[in-house]
Amino acid sequence: MATAVGNCAQKRASGPISRWAHRCWIGAALAACLGFATLAGCDVERRKSDAELGLNPQQAAGRRIYDNHCDRCHRPYSTKGRKGPGLHGVFQHQYLPLSGLPANDDRVSEIIRYGRHEMPGYSQTLNPQDMQDLLAYLHTL
């Protein structure tokens, strides 16, 4: 950015001020936006592989189910959600954060099967094995 500003100062001295000033301001604004976007994305982590997370085959299968059905609304490794709550540590607490229901397999399975508020139910989509795989993965978060 310092080079762009230096170049603008040189151009301004040799050409029409308003035209070059306008271009320099646009260039500086774009550079600032790019810098801000880069800094804003700093909390985004590279997606770890199943092996890096230490997932067994059942948990890895659950992760694929999560990616296909849950990830669009729930972030797995964050307490910040998208449309629904983030699920990091969902089973680490006694109660679920929004509903206050017990954080156990029965309650979480019930929410997944029947849905809740804006969340659709997946009883017609996930078979019992899918549900067990998904729960196994959720326990790793």
| Residues 71-119 pLDDT 10s | 888 888 877 767 888 888 889 989 987 788 899 999 999 999 999 888 9
Q: Do 103 and 90 touch, CB atoms closer than 8 A?
A: yes
Give the mean pLDDT of 120-139: 95
Looking at per-residue pLDDT, the higher value among 11 and 98 belongs to 98
Give the confidence band of 122 by pLDDT, cuts at 50, 70, 90: very high
Question: Considering the chain, what is the average pLDDT of its residues?
Answer: 78
| DSSP-assigned beta bridge partners for residue 119 | 116
Looking at per-residue pLDDT, the higher value among 6 and 114 belongs to 114
Residue (of 43, 48, 110) closest to 78 by Cα position: 43
| DSSP-assigned beta bridge partners for residue 102 | 95
pLDDT for residue 28 = 60
Tokens of 61: 């299968």
Which amino acid, residue 83? K
Q: pLDDT at residue 131 above 80?
A: yes
pLDDT for residue 127 = 96
Which amino acid, residue 98? L
Q: pLDDT at residue 10 above 60?
A: no
As a whole number of angstroms, the distance between CA 43 and CA 120 comes to 29
Give the confidence band of 39 by pLDDT, cuts at 50, 70, 90: very low
For the entire predicted model, the pTM comes to 0.65
